[in-house]
Amino acid sequence: MENLSAILYLVAAVLFILALKGLSSPTSAIQGNRYGMLGMLIAVVTTFLIMDKPVLALIAGAIVAGGAIGAWKAKTVEMTGMPELVAAMHSLVGLSAVLIAVAAIFHSGVEHTGVQKIELFIGAFIGAITFTASVVAYGKLSGKFGAKAVNFGGQHLLNLVLALAMVGFGVLYFLSDSHAAFLMMVAIALVLGVTLIIPIGGADMPVVVSMLNSYSGWAAAGIGFTLNNPVLIIAGACVGSSGAILSYIMCKAMNRSIVSVLLGGFGAEVASGGAAASGPKNYKSGSAEDAAFLMGNADSVIIVPGYGLAVSRAQHALQEFAELLHEKGVNVRYAIHPVAGRMPGHMNVLLAEAEVPYERVQEMEEINSDFANTDVVLVIGANDVVNPAAQKDKSSPIYGMPILEAHKARTVIVVKRSMSVGYAGLDNELFYMDKTMMVFGDAKKVVEDLVKGGGH
C-alpha cells in the first residue's frame, strides 16, 4: 500500500504542475483546471486509503459543506468580487495551516524532533500572517475597510519589533517545548499580518493579492510537512514559488521593489494631482455616437479595459461592439496591462467570460509598439495604466511604472463617469490632450450606445 500511495501522490503532483502550466495561458486555462481537479481527487482518495482509522463522518461532512459553499460562490460571484474572493480563499489556507500546527503541538503523546519543530514554527507563522493579511486585503478590496493606506509614525519599527518577538517566542518554543510560547508566536504573527498590509493602498492591491497567493502556497507546504504529506508539500511549493515569480513580475509592472512588498508599507496613497493641483484644465467631450463613428471609420482600434469595465459589467456589450467593428474590416485588439483591475489576470478573466477570441487579447509587451500606428484607442474603465506621467513626470509617484502607451495613438477615446481621479489618486494628462475625446457615463450604457451607433 505504501508503494501504491507514493505512486498515486506522484501522479497527483505531476497533475498539479500541469495545472499551473495550463493556467499560465487563457487558451489552456480550462484544461489546466481539469488537471488540477483530477490531481486533487487522486490526492484526497489516496489520503483516505492510507489514513489510520479516519473519522469518515466528519471528513465527508467537511468536504460536502466546503464543496457546496465553493459551488455556490462560483455561481454567484460577480467579476468585480473575484479579487476579494481570492483574498478570502487565501485567508482560509493560512488559517488551516495555523489550526493544523496548533493541533499538532497539543497532540498528546507525540514528540516532535528539532526539524519538525522548525517546520511547525515556519508553517504556523506564515499561515498566521497569511490569514490576517488576507482578511485585511479582502476588506480593502471589498471597500469594507477602506482602500486608503493607514500610516503612522514608527510603523516599520513596530513591524521589526513584532517580527523579532515572533522569532524570539519561536526559539523559546524550540528550546523548551512551551505551548504558551508557540501560541504567543502565533498571536504576534496574526498581528504582524495586519500591520504589514494596512500601510498598503488600494491601488497596489494586485501585488498584494499575488504575494498572498505565494504566502498561502508556502503555508500549504508547511501543512504538508506537519502531516508528512508529500503531495501537499509539492503542491504548496509550486504555488508558493509561482506566486513569488508572479509577484516579481507584478512589481516590475508597477515599478515597485519586491523587498518593499515583503516588508509592507510600500505604495502609500498619494494626493490628487493634475487638475486639482494646478487649477481647471480644458478637455474635449463627445457622445457615444461620435465615438462609434470614429471607430467605425478607422483601420485599427485598440481597446484598453480596466476595473470600471468590470464594475459596470459591460464586457459582453463591448465584445458585441468589437464584433461589429470586425465585420466592417476594422482590426480590433485588446491591450492588457499586468496590473489592470484588482488582481493578476483580472482583465483576462473578464474578457474570457465575454468569449473574446484569445488571439485578439495581447499583453503590454506585445502591443505597446503598435499604439503609434493605431487610429483609435478606446480606454474604458482604466486610468493609471495609461497615465503618461509614468514616463514624463519624475515627481509622479508612478514615475517609472510601465504603462500602455495609449497617448501615442492618433485618437484616444476615454469612457469615464466623470473627471475624477483613478484608484491611485492621480490625475491623468491623457484626458486633456488635444487628441483625446472624453465620453461620460456608465460604461455599460455608453457601450450599448456604441453598439447602436456602430450598427449603422
Beta bridge partners of 440: 416
CA angle 376, 377, 383 (to 5 degrees): 155
Q: Give the E-state strand segments of 139-220 in sequence order.
A: none
AA letter at 105: I
The three grid cell numbers given for residue 175, joined into one nine-digit string: 528550546
Spatial separation of the C-alpha atoms in residues 231 and 236, rounded to whole Å: 8
**370 among known catalytic residues:** no
Give the full edge-to-edge strand order of the sheet including 411-416: 361-363, 331-336, 300-305, 376-380, 411-416, 436-440
With beta carbons less than 8 A apart as the criterion, state whether 305 and 444 touch. no
In the set 52, 177, 204, 384, the catalytic residue is 384
Cα–Cα separations (whole angstroms), residue 294 to 179, 328, 447: 70, 13, 14
Nearest Cα residue to 4 out of 36, 48, 40, 34: 48
User: Up-side HSE of residue 398: CA atoms within 13 Å toward CB?
Assistant: 29
Catalogue the active-site residues: 384
